Amino acid sequence: MLQETPATLSQRITLVTGASSGIGRAVALALARAGAFVVATGRSRERLAALADELAGQGEALPLDVSEPDDIARFMRSMGERHGRINALVVNAGVSPAVEIDTLTVTEYQSLMDVNVRGAVFTFAHALPLLSEGASVVFVGSVAARKGQPGDAVYAGSKGFVRAFARSLGTSPDLMKRRIRVNVVSPGPIETPLTEEATRNPEAKVYVEQLIPMRRWGRDAEVAQAVLFLLSEASSFTTGADLTVDGGMSHV
């Protein structure tokens, strides 16, 4: 059951990719509570069905594989036919397979880049014609793009691309003419299904906590609130920014 919160995004059509679990799911639910109509996407049909129930009529959950540009194009055509516009876009879909550079295969590299880089680029590109005047876009990056991530350099590099891509769009003259703002939210270590292996390992969990000045992992709901801020009029003079939600990790 959705709980009422101030409707800062009331009646806005919002699209969230990678929403079947973790941060994306938390963002979708927070948007619905804020009054938006949410189109949540992901690859797990089972999880999407559960999310659709949780959205309680305040949105829909539909399959989308962002690693396939043709699938993105088809989805956006359908989005246009059904809703006519996108007022807020959250480009969140991503993978973090933790591949070692010395054993990296071309297949592993391509699989990661197809989602994290190509998926982000073509999600935005195909959504662009649907973005309304004054729309807001948030890309979900990672603190790894600022600090690097030993043992996972390829993932950090992919998020570095997302950060630079989004911040460049945020000051694009063409987008400024349409009053479209683009920002990045960069989470630090967050407890989600994606990090479950680490958070269930006491030694790994404590090791990471020692790297964070606040001495704890973040929660997906905390990232969701940062995303909502950048999507709402509360951040109306903010574009091209990178908002870190990392307990201070990137500043030490």
Q: CATH number of the domain at 114, please.
A: 3.40.50.720
Question: In this structure, is residue 226 part of a structural domain?
Answer: yes
Give the residues of the chain that fall short of pLDDT 70.
1-8
Give the model's pLDDT for residue 2: 52
Question: In this structure, is residue 208 part of a structural domain?
Answer: no
Q: Under a CB-based contact definition with an 8 Å cutoff, are residues 89 and 128 in contact? A: no
Question: In this structure, is residue 202 part of a structural domain?
Answer: no
Cβ neighbours of residue 39 under 8 Å, at least 6 residues apart? 13, 14, 15, 16, 59, 60, 62, 79, 83
Q: Under a CB-based contact definition with an 8 Å cutoff, are residues 223 and 187 in contact? A: yes
Question: In this structure, is residue 64 part of a structural domain?
Answer: yes
Q: Under a CB-based contact definition with an 8 Å cutoff, are residues 28 and 16 in contact? A: yes
Question: In this structure, is residue 212 part of a structural domain?
Answer: no
- pLDDT tens for each residue of 219-236: 999 999 999 999 999 999
Number of compact structural domains in the chain: 1
Question: In this structure, is residue 29 part of a structural domain?
Answer: yes
Range of the domain at 54: 13-191+219-245
Give the model's pLDDT for residue 122: 98
What is the Rg, in whole angstroms, of the alpha carbon atoms belonging to the chain?
17
Please give the model's pTM, rounded to 2 decimal places.
0.93
Query: Is position 109 annotated as part of the catalytic site?
Result: no
Q: Under a CB-based contact definition with an 8 Å cutoff, are residues 182 and 165 in contact? A: no
Q: Under a CB-based contact definition with an 8 Å cutoff, are residues 250 and 146 in contact? A: yes
**What does the chain come to in residues?**
252
How far, in Å, are 43, 74, 157, 216, 217 from residue 213 at the CA level? 35, 44, 24, 8, 10
Q: Which of 122, 139, 155, 217 is catalytic?
A: 155
* The token pair that represents 2 in the structure block: 């959705």
- pLDDT tens for each residue of 170-220: 999 999 999 999 999 999 888 877 777 777 888 888 888 888 888 988 899
Give the model's pLDDT for residue 50: 96
CA distance 190 to 204: 13
Q: Under a CB-based contact definition with an 8 Å cutoff, are residues 60 and 13 in contact? A: no
Question: In this structure, is residue 50 part of a structural domain?
Answer: yes
Question: In this structure, is residue 252 part of a structural domain?
Answer: no
